[in-house]
Amino acid sequence: MTTYVYDFSEGRRDMAGLLGGKGANLAEMARMGLPVPPGFTVTTEACRIFLATGQAPDGLDRQIGEHLAALERASGKRLGQVDDPLLLSVRSGARFSMPGMMETILDIGLNDLSVLGLAKTPERERFAWDSYRRLVQMFGSTVMGVDGSHFEAALAAVKQQHSRGDDTQLDTCDLIRIVETFKDLIHERTGEEFPQDPAEQLRRAVLAVFTSWNGERARLYRRREHIPDDLGTAVNIQTMVFGNLGPDSGSGVAFTRDPATGRPGVYGDYLPNAQGEDVVAGIRNTVPLQDLAGLDPASFARLRGYMDRLEAHYRDLCDIEFTIERGTLWMLQTRVGKRTAQAAFAIASQLADEGLISEREALGRVGGEALARLMFPRFATTDSSEVIARGVPASPGAAVGAVVFDSAEAVRRAAAGEKVVLVRQETTPDDLPGMVAAQAVLTSRGGKTSHAAVVARGMGKVCVCGAEGIVVDTRQRRFSAGGVTVTEGTVVSVDGSEGVVRLGSVPLVDSDVMRYFEEGGVLPADGTARQPVRDVHRLMRQADAVRGLEVRANADTPEDAARARRFGAQGIGLCRTEHMFLGDRRPLVEAMILAHGDTEREAALAALLPLQRQDFTGILEAMDGLPVTVRLLDPPLHEFLPDRTELAVRLARGEALGTPADPHDSELLAAVTRMHEENPMLGLRGVRLGLVVPGLVAMQVRALAEAVVARRHAGGDPRAEIMVPLVDAVEELHLVREEVDRVLAEVSLETGVDVTCPVGTMIELPRAALTAGRIAKEAAFFSFGTNDLTQTTWGFSRDDVEAAFFSAYLDKGVFPVSPFETIDREGVGRLVRIAVEEGRAARPDLKIGVCGEHGGDPASVHFFHGAGLDYVSCSPFRVPIARLEAGRAAL
């Protein structure tokens, strides 16, 4: 019989796949002897079965019943008993944290009778009826599907009728009335009564949590965070403890280090006389956690002790949720906490310094995406005179955008290309689409642990929260702050590192970390580097020390080559020569294409040759001593000719106006028409072009060879390599190689300088991958062109599909991330593995790299490491990211 339910005493931290993160960590804390309210966890497997079949698995009800009975025996209380009933919370908890995206139902076990038992004494009456009110409301909307706004409206009506300003002014009589109204509402809307049987409440609550795995906001969050759709959520059923029983009670969130900067210390928020939900919702403003030391010194000291134990046990930053019920501290959750990019590097370094983790482990704790964030620009000013609002610096970075006041408007404007800043009093999970669309989030309420802060940090979005000085008027679509009124559409600059907002668009400067890379990855000798730069430096050195993959850059100008080298590139893996033919030189290419006969074409090629030679010389100089892989021309030819329709219209207009047609235009139109391809990406490009345009390959090879000669004469150490694109069949490569070898031999003979160099090929078509063994016989190296290989393996036009239907595909879960962004291991990756294996079998010394966009994508770098490649090549700005990830892949 499959076990679907585990008591907290039976689980462990490494069971997160089955028990979800929350369940596994509750079990771990219970094992450590920390005070965890007793409970048990329903597995993700049960959820997956329910989602697949629409039915709870056989035996689940029975197992829940058994665990509940054990809980009742241990606590001496029964669910639903009239006198002092056991109450339960039912919470989701997936393997990966999805804060606030799924459902929670509290106070299960209350009904018309047990509410009286909970009330016990007159001073608890209000609390008991408020709890019942919350249950009926939560259960009605979450489990029974009544739109939450009906409850809000009913609540508002009672408040208005009895002139109550806010919820806290409602007395017991009001609450009793509200419970009745809510129950009627449920009956009216669903035809069903609110269930009085606590066992039924529990069973239905569990299924509602399962169902919420596929709720809209959960799906959107998963897509954004690349969390697979098929994991399912666990459900944690736990004895309720109450932080709202008076001034000696409360709830809070604690971090063992500052999640924004990584600084050690006590960080967190505390809310006296409140339930945990109130803290995270950011509805009331919390006090800093340190204040608990004054309010309840004993609980504070105990909490500090537990924080230290948890950090030493998890060997990482932990975030913790706790509740104090009448002076008794309860631990409700812990997990390895989310953190900003800066904090990730800082904490990894500190923990290594403290000897808690090794240098290698420290490298495993950071990642390329975090590094990329540290390379973003920051604001140029620290001037406080322009500041209109200050709040909590919840998620760092600099963002400029037009103010909007709701999620829908954020999405609408962002879709039209506008940069926006979402301003809310506080955010709820329903704001998620707007947060995704916005550059930054600004709220007037809530601390570092509010929904806005947690979600923004997770996404790497700039966030300032709890900016108390601003008054948000969503209805009038404006906010006022620092004496100014800011209406929708006004541009503001949000500094998530400092927690300030300025009016207008503040200029940006490069980040320190970017400057560090620009300066060649060395720390200034005077020791002035800021700590975040030193942390990055330390972990980059560690990555470089352990990585097996070389990192090269895709660059086609001397400037890019020089930058790539400063960023740590070990050569150029792809120099796209077609990029050298654009701009002013386009007419020369046009002349080559339109040439009548050999003489004209040779003249056109001769005009191009010195320009190419000059380009190559500059690049070889910038990469002196390092390999430079020059790829022969690979554009669809139409890119060098004017647009056919435009040309036809111009000629037709001329005709209509009676102006004589420019003979050049007529000739061009004829050529463009002749060369027109329905599917240029699959047409005359790559090696095909080299084989049909006489003299083209020879010109490029000669230009490169002569550049090598020039560099040698200048005392340099040029290391050119020639790469043939879009090869399908070994015969193509063979033919091109004959020409390449002939020209290299010619130049060697003419100049007395040996210019022979490795000639290799790109593997970017499935046929090439499948015949790699034969192709390797003619190639000194392979470089996977995974852009084209993805295009041709999937049959996706790389220029069209992302806009056309990828968002629908991502929505429907065809893939969790675009295969143009992260390598598709199953399909394209399989071709890569076949080509590596068969290529190396045919030629053991075959050097193999990748130069498609995937070369700089963190997840893909790990794949290429595993597939046994020698190097990855990516754009210069991604070189540091690839270095870091290559190091992590080797751990």
The smaller minimum CB distance to Mg ion, of residues 58 and 799, is found at: 799
The smaller minimum CB distance to ligand PEP, of residues 852 and 856, is found at: 852
Choose one: 56-64, 185-193, 777-785, 813-821; the region binding Mg ion (CB under 5 A): 777-785
CB distance 691 to 736 below 8 Å: yes
* 824 part of the interface to Mg ion, by CB under 5 A: no
* 786 part of the interface to ligand PEP, by CB under 6 A: yes
CB distance 236 to 243 below 8 Å: no
The single-letter code of the amino acid at 543 is A
CB 790 to ligand PEP: min, Å: 8
> Three-state DSSP class for 803?
helix
Residue from 453, 464, 574, 693 binding ligand PEP (CB under 6 A): 574
The smaller minimum CB distance to Mg ion, of residues 426 and 764, is found at: 764
From CA 529, how far away is CA 519, in angstroms rounded?
12
Number of residues interacting with ligand PEP: please give it, by CB under 6 A. Answer: 10
Judged by CB under 6 A, the chain residues 825 through 884 that form the site for ligand PEP are 851-852
CB 577 to Mg ion: min, Å: 13
Each residue 641-680 as x (binds Mg ion by CB under 5 A) or -, in order, gives ----------------------------------------
Choose among Mg ion, ligand PEP, none what residue 786 binds, the Cβ cut-off being 5 to 8 Å by kind.
Answer: ligand PEP
The smaller minimum CB distance to ligand PEP, of residues 319 and 764, is found at: 764
> Three-state DSSP class for 542?
helix
Choose one: 153-161, 421-429, 555-563, 781-789; the region binding ligand PEP (CB under 6 A): 781-789
CB 540 to Mg ion: min, Å: 30
CB 726 to ligand PEP: min, Å: 8
**Token pair belonging to 737:** 């190689």
CA-angle at 125, arms to 120 and 129, nearest 5° = 115
Judged by CB under 6 A, the chain residues 629 through 668 that form the site for ligand PEP are 634
Is residue 75 within a helix (H) or strand (E), and if so which, with residue range? helix 60-75
Choose among Mg ion, ligand PEP, none what residue 585 binds, the Cβ cut-off being 5 to 8 Å by kind.
Answer: none
> Three-state DSSP class for 145?
coil
CB 312: neighbour CB atoms within 10 A? 13
Choose one: 624-632, 776-784, 785-793, 824-832; the region binding Mg ion (CB under 5 A): 785-793
* 560 part of the interface to ligand PEP, by CB under 6 A: no
The smaller minimum CB distance to ligand PEP, of residues 97 and 629, is found at: 629
Choose one: 89-97, 117-125, 296-304, 780-788; the region binding ligand PEP (CB under 6 A): 780-788
Q: Which of 451, 537, 854, 862 is catalytic?
A: 451
From CA 306, how far away is CA 321, in angstroms rounded?
12
CB 789 to ligand PEP: min, Å: 7
CB 503 to ligand PEP: min, Å: 42
The smaller minimum CB distance to Mg ion, of residues 221 and 820, is found at: 820
From CA 306, how far away is CA 312, in angstroms rounded?
10
Is residue 722 within a helix (H) or strand (E), and if so which, with residue range? strand 719-724
Q: Which of 318, 757, 851, 874 is catalytic?
A: 851
Secondary structure letter of residue 86 according to DSSP: B
Choose among Mg ion, ligand PEP, none what residue 852 binds, the Cβ cut-off being 5 to 8 Å by kind.
Answer: ligand PEP
Alpha carbon separation from 274 to 241, 243, 245, 284, 334 (Å, rounded) = 11, 5, 8, 9, 19
* 781 DSSP β-pair partners: 847
From CA 354, how far away is CA 313, in angstroms rounded?
14
Nearest to 477 by CA among 543, 546, 424: 424
From CA 812, how far away is CA 8, in angstroms rounded?
35
* 785 part of the interface to Mg ion, by CB under 5 A: yes
The smaller minimum CB distance to Mg ion, of residues 499 and 785, is found at: 785
CB 787 to Mg ion: min, Å: 5
> Three-state DSSP class for 809?
helix
* 788 part of the interface to Mg ion, by CB under 5 A: yes
CB 850: neighbour CB atoms within 10 A? 33
Judged by CB under 6 A, the chain residues 710 through 769 that form the site for ligand PEP are 764
Nearest to 569 by CA among 608, 618, 623: 623
851 is catalytic: yes
Secondary structure letter of residue 869 according to DSSP: -
Choose one: 277-285, 330-338, 786-794, 801-809; the region binding ligand PEP (CB under 6 A): 786-794
Torsion of CA 652, 656, 661, 666, to 10 degrees: 20
Q: Within a 13 Å sphere around the CA of 126, how many CA atoms are in the beta-carbon half?
A: 11
Residue from 31, 164, 576, 579 binding ligand PEP (CB under 6 A): 576
The position carrying tokens 């080299």 is 690
The smaller minimum CB distance to ligand PEP, of residues 360 and 576, is found at: 576
Residue 476 neighbours by CB under 8 Å, 6+ apart: none
CB 770 to ligand PEP: min, Å: 17
From CA 462, how far away is CA 456, in angstroms rounded?
7
Q: What does DSSP say about strands 39-42 and 233-239: parallel, antiparallel, or unpaired? A: antiparallel
Nearest to 398 by CA among 506, 524, 521, 551: 506
Residue from 258, 560, 621, 788 binding ligand PEP (CB under 6 A): 788
The smaller minimum CB distance to ligand PEP, of residues 391 and 785, is found at: 785
CB 804 to ligand PEP: min, Å: 19
Residue 358 neighbours by CB under 8 Å, 6+ apart: 352
Secondary structure letter of residue 756 according to DSSP: -
757 is catalytic: no
The smaller minimum CB distance to ligand PEP, of residues 551 and 851, is found at: 851
Cα diameter, the chain: 106
Q: What is the CA radius of gyration of the chain?
A: 33
CB 819 to ligand PEP: min, Å: 12
Choose among ligand PEP, Mg ion, none what residue 734 binds, the Cβ cut-off being 5 to 8 Å by kind.
Answer: none
CB 686 to Mg ion: min, Å: 7
CB 814 to ligand PEP: min, Å: 22
CB 775 to ligand PEP: min, Å: 16
> Three-state DSSP class for 492?
strand
Residue 17 neighbours by CB under 8 Å, 6+ apart: 44, 95, 231
* 402 DSSP β-pair partners: 420, 491
Choose among Mg ion, ligand PEP, none what residue 262 binds, the Cβ cut-off being 5 to 8 Å by kind.
Answer: none
* CB neighbour class for 787 (10 Å; exposed up to 12, middle 13-18, buried from 19): middle
Residue 652 neighbours by CB under 8 Å, 6+ apart: none
The smaller minimum CB distance to Mg ion, of residues 350 and 791, is found at: 791
The smaller minimum CB distance to ligand PEP, of residues 96 and 877, is found at: 877
Choose among ligand PEP, Mg ion, none what residue 576 binds, the Cβ cut-off being 5 to 8 Å by kind.
Answer: ligand PEP
The position carrying tokens 């930053």 is 317
Choose among Mg ion, ligand PEP, none what residue 574 binds, the Cβ cut-off being 5 to 8 Å by kind.
Answer: ligand PEP
The smaller minimum CB distance to Mg ion, of residues 409 and 788, is found at: 788
Secondary structure letter of residue 304 according to DSSP: H
Choose one: 34-42, 464-472, 698-706, 785-793; the region binding ligand PEP (CB under 6 A): 785-793
Judged by CB under 5 A, the chain residues 715 through 774 that form the site for Mg ion are 764
Number of residues interacting with Mg ion: please give it, by CB under 5 A. Answer: 3
Secondary structure letter of residue 743 according to DSSP: H
Positions marked active-site: 451, 851
Q: List residues binding Mg ion (CB under 5 A).
A: 764, 785, 788
Q: List residues binding ligand PEP (CB under 6 A).
A: 574, 576, 634, 764, 785-788, 851-852
